[in-house]
Amino acid sequence: MEQLRKMAMQRLIMKGNCTIPLLNALTPLRMRMIIIALIVIPVLGCIYMDKQPVSPLLTVADVDLQRYIGVWHEIARYPNRFQENCFGSRATYALRDDGAISVINECYDSSFEGKLRSVEGKAKVVDAASNAKLKVSFFWPFSGDYWIIELGKDYEYAVIGHPKRKYLWILSRSTTMDETVYEGILSRLKDKQYDITKLIKTPQK
């Protein structure tokens, strides 16, 4: 506290090469306010820096929806409230007659012996140039961004992101993923400014 008081004094009483005798003029209340300001302002600056926008999230250049539909098994994800206690998570996509994509998300509750949880929705492409940006809705009128940010050459895996990095899923056509492939995905996700420490592995069998 004494050190902060001295710092405050130095900032307030120095003007050019002249010293202004203000030390005795500061009341204890003003002194406390100055010390608080010296502590709070740098903290607010750090918060501001943390909230600086990240670079735009890029998607893959092109998605063949005919190849993309089918069953995908979840390998890892960012935690989210709608998948709490999920085991064996998987998603099934199919093209609809109206051009949208049907979505069925399933998982077992709390263990592989638990009740099968299922929810149905639909997805619409919002970027026809690439088919990589979709809006998915399970409860009208609410929808969420579903961006395909990485895709295996043979459509053997996919990485789904969100423009604000709020959500993340790593999907595979099988219930397992080669560790080398997985580590490569993590490395590229770091380059995309994703915090990979938040990822949790999904129990599969």
Query: Is pLDDT above 80 for 47?
Result: no
Q: Domain check: are 146 and 186 in the same one?
A: yes
Q: What is the pLDDT of residue 30?
A: 56
Q: Domain check: are 22 and 90 in the same one?
A: no
Which parts of 6-129 are beta strand (E)?
14-15, 18-19, 70-77, 86-95, 101-109, 116-125
Q: What is the pLDDT of residue 163?
A: 96
Query: Is 58 domain-assigned?
Result: no
- The model's confidence at residue 16, banded by pLDDT at 50, 70 and 90, is very low
pLDDT digits (tens, 9 = 90+) for 125-181: 999 999 999 999 998 888 999 999 999 999 999 999 999 999 999 999 999 999 999
Query: Is pLDDT above 70 for 202?
Result: yes
pTM of the model: 0.75
Q: Domain check: are 109 and 42 in the same one?
A: no
For residue 24, what are the domain limits? 2-50
Q: Domain check: are 70 and 44 in the same one?
A: no
Pairing of strands 133-139, 142-151: antiparallel
Query: Is 88 domain-assigned?
Result: yes
Please state the domain count of the chain: 2
Query: Is 59 domain-assigned?
Result: no
